[in-house]
Chains A and B, each alone.
Chain A
């Protein structure tokens, strides 16, 4: 016999599922009492509701549209454990300093997602919801992945530790350069740049993101000439050298063909662009793992959705997805160069890529505690408008496990490409030596470089040419939380 309470519940359920339209909050997507489970996937969205839409309803709508909801009530929900599958917006708080924006925290049950698939994850989390009319703008700021989910991914095929062991290079950032001009060189001339840069002291050279197989240089020609350059430079220096051969192509079949050829020629590394898509990235990651290949990712295209604070996806989320998807290198900002990058934000990305565990660090944009559960570490790449004169700043901001890429800063050297490479390598080694000796490189950096330049003409010329060049513009993607000084 039914009790009074049961009847009440039945009545409520009947109301809940009566045909028609309910607010998302009424449908159960706003749950301020919900305690996220350790096994939940968590997402933090920055929401800008339309005028007149209250933030809790907007947060509930985001939870609903990124999980089970549609615009109207459907009775077929009652054939499922709907309360489990419904994502739950569990906290909304105003964004400091931005009166019309709110942080909305949403929890998702683990079973909403296919194991090991970034495509599946993103289809939910950044699917329909980003075009949803009741919001003026929406940005995915951060995510937390439970260890059980992390363990369904292979992660980087090589990782920082194994990359260094394979290359036999320890204790300093690696050095690279992108071949310039990035378009127009023939294969033979392109290989010349590669040889000169590697011979002069760089560890890596790189194809640019849009070097694929154009009329002026077909891919096979590029690969053959570059490998001649790599091997010549290795023999001339006794070091392992590499060139990121960009295997990005129109189809997976093209990419596999190019990657196989790179392997056949003995390349230690291949490269892909972010624009190939998450599924293609994961496919290439598995290929790289099977073939002992370092996998370099150029983040071509990310600026379209990462740069503006109100709408899009933060690069810290892309960093997390790419560590899961499994790349060994990813461009993650320079702080001091020509491209967008607030120091705190960039350090947040680097920490995500390199640390075994990320603690909450609001100043660096890390809103969740993230345990990487033994997943290998990704080597960040700093590229774009950097030069030898900034070496003390680069080492201080970015640390040791990073590839510093000086493209113009190598190839544009007044004494030639080899001299440009030598200047960078000498500046780097001198700065690491000084740091290890306990010197204050942030303040003494220019003196350390000047002293090293006394033994190295190419470094002197580099400092004379670029010493004063800075790119001092205000960043758009900046921290929302700044430390406040407490009275002593």
Chain B
């Protein structure tokens, strides 16, 4: 399977040129870019690990791309996403977020069902990858 989190997951994986163009768009809007990585792609895993601090003062797309390459070099088998943060009053949130690296093989998720009273079912989603300990899940 292919997890489809992030803004552009239904398109073929973006090339570095395409990623650079999106970075330029974000920087042009005045947003700060940050990179995050994880090997637990549960849809409600909000806090992926931060690959360094948000790059508030880096206004150069080539510099951001260097960080993307560094993150890929360090975590080649992890999910890595690029977030663009807007500190404008009324937003103060992420405005664009897309995956720039994903493991070769994505085993997907198990859906657990616990039958409860009155036909109610309690659902739980579990990534198959998290059966293995953090750090070695996709290698």
- Determine if chain A interacts with chain B: yes
Interface residues of chain A, those whose CB is within 8 Å of chain B, are 161, 164-165, 168, 170-172, 201, 224, 227-228, 231-232, 234-240, 264-266, 356, 377, 422, 425-426, 429-430, 432-433, 436-438, 452, 455
| B10 A425 Cβ-Cβ under 8 A | yes
B-side contacts of A425, CB under 8 Å: 10
B-side contacts of A168, CB under 8 Å: 5, 43-44, 46, 97
B-side contacts of A232, CB under 8 Å: 111
Interface 1/0s, chain B 94-127, versus A by CB < 8 A?
1111100000000011110000000111110101
**Extra pairs beyond A161-B93, A172-B7, A437-B18 (4, CB < 8 Å):** A228-B121, A429-B7, A432-B7, A438-B25
Shortest beta-carbon contacts, A-B, top 3: A238-B3, A171-B96, A235-B111
| B120 A224 Cβ-Cβ under 8 A | yes
| B44 A240 Cβ-Cβ under 8 A | yes
Known: A201-B4, A224-B119, A429-B11. A238 touches B92 (CB 8 A): no
Inter-chain CA distance A238–B10, complex, in Å, is 13
| B93 A165 Cβ-Cβ under 8 A | yes
| A433 B18 Cβ-Cβ under 8 A | yes
Known: A168-B46, A426-B11. A238 touches B4 (CB 8 A): yes
| B125 A433 Cβ-Cβ under 8 A | no
B65 smallest CB distance to A (angstroms):
15
Q: Is B89 an interface residue (CB 8 A)?
A: yes
Name the residue among A201, A232, A238 with the largest chain B CB count within 10 angstroms: A238
Inter-chain CA distance A164–B96, complex, in Å, is 11
| B4 A239 Cβ-Cβ under 8 A | yes
Inter-chain CA distance A264–B18, complex, in Å, is 43
Our pick among A228, A240, A433 for the contact of B43 (Cβ within 8 Å) is A240
A-B CB contact pairs (8 Å), 11 listed? A161-B92, A171-B94, A234-B109, A235-B108, A235-B125, A238-B108, A426-B10, A429-B7, A437-B18, A437-B25, A438-B21
B42's nearest neighbour on chain A, judged by CB, is A238
A72 smallest CB distance to B (angstroms):
50
Inter-chain CA distance A197–B72, complex, in Å, is 33
Q: Is B1 an interface residue (CB 8 A)?
A: yes
Our pick among A172, A236, A422, A452 for the contact of B1 (Cβ within 8 Å) is A236
Inter-chain CA distance A265–B83, complex, in Å, is 31
Our pick among B10, B84, B92, B123 for the contact of A429 (Cβ within 8 Å) is B10
Our pick among B3, B41, B42, B96 for the contact of A170 (Cβ within 8 Å) is B96
Our pick among B1, B10, B43, B120 for the contact of A234 (Cβ within 8 Å) is B43
| B123 A227 Cβ-Cβ under 8 A | yes
Known: A235-B108, A235-B111, A239-B43. A161 touches B91 (CB 8 A): yes
| A201 B43 Cβ-Cβ under 8 A | no
Name the residue among A171, A234, A237, A429 with the largest chain B CB count within 10 angstroms: A171
Q: Is B73 an interface residue (CB 8 A)?
A: no
B-side contacts of A236, CB under 8 Å: 1, 108-109
Q: Is B22 an interface residue (CB 8 A)?
A: yes
Our pick among A170, A231, A238, A265 for the contact of B120 (Cβ within 8 Å) is A265
| A237 B22 Cβ-Cβ under 8 A | no
A403 smallest CB distance to B (angstroms):
15
B121's nearest neighbour on chain A, judged by CB, is A228
Q: Is B8 an interface residue (CB 8 A)?
A: yes
| A231 B93 Cβ-Cβ under 8 A | no
| A356 B11 Cβ-Cβ under 8 A | no
| B90 A356 Cβ-Cβ under 8 A | yes
Q: Is B12 an interface residue (CB 8 A)?
A: yes
Inter-chain CA distance A161–B87, complex, in Å, is 12
Our pick among A170, A266, A429 for the contact of B95 (Cβ within 8 Å) is A170
A-side contacts of B93, CB under 8 Å: 161, 164-165, 170
A434's nearest neighbour on chain B, judged by CB, is B21
A236 smallest CB distance to B (angstroms):
7
A42 smallest CB distance to B (angstroms):
24
| A201 B90 Cβ-Cβ under 8 A | no
Inter-chain CA distance A168–B7, complex, in Å, is 10
B-side contacts of A228, CB under 8 Å: 121
A-side contacts of B123, CB under 8 Å: 227, 231, 266
B14's nearest neighbour on chain A, judged by CB, is A433
Known: A237-B3, A433-B18. A377 touches B90 (CB 8 A): yes
